[in-house]
Amino acid sequence: MVVHELYGMSEVTGPQSLQTGPRTVIGSVGPTMPGCETRLANKDADGNGEICMKGRNLMMGYLNREDKTTEDIDQDGWLHSGDIGSIDANGFIFITGTDFMNYIDEALCFNLSLHHDSYH
């Protein structure tokens, strides 16, 4: 059975990297797809940093959420994913962690704001 791994987000219209064919590294989600850019922000001593993405595939912003758009997309147009990873010398991306609590906090606050008058 052939298994292909990829990495992406809906904010970049799906995949950002794809591992397929002879270019396979176990544990990796593959290299960045053509036409896309990937970089790491705030790298630590081990070379792990926040995965940031850029390209024509990047959304224009969150609908009616300018605050969220400016929080996730920096002034240079890089989407900050909140995922932690590394990129090897051959361009293969490895996911090593995530700032998942940030997502949970945002989802909880958004859900509360939809259902409770005290948040309006």
The per-residue pLDDT for 80 is 94
Task: Quote the pLDDT of residue 102.
Answer: 53
- Give the residue among 106, 105, 52 at the shortest CA–CA distance from 80: 52
pTM: 0.78
pLDDT value at residue 19: 84
How high is the pLDDT of residue 5?
Answer: 83
CATH code that applies to domain 5-119: 2.30.38.10
Q: Answer yes or no: are the C-beta atoms of 28 and 16 closer than 8 Å.
A: no
DSSP string, 61-105: --TT-HHHHHHHB-TTS-EEEEEEEEE-TT-BEEEEEE-HHHHHH
How does DSSP classify residue 52?
E
Mean pLDDT (10-residue bins), the chain, 120 residues: 81 87 84 94 94 93 92 94 94 86 48 43
The predicted structure's pLDDT at residue 42? 93
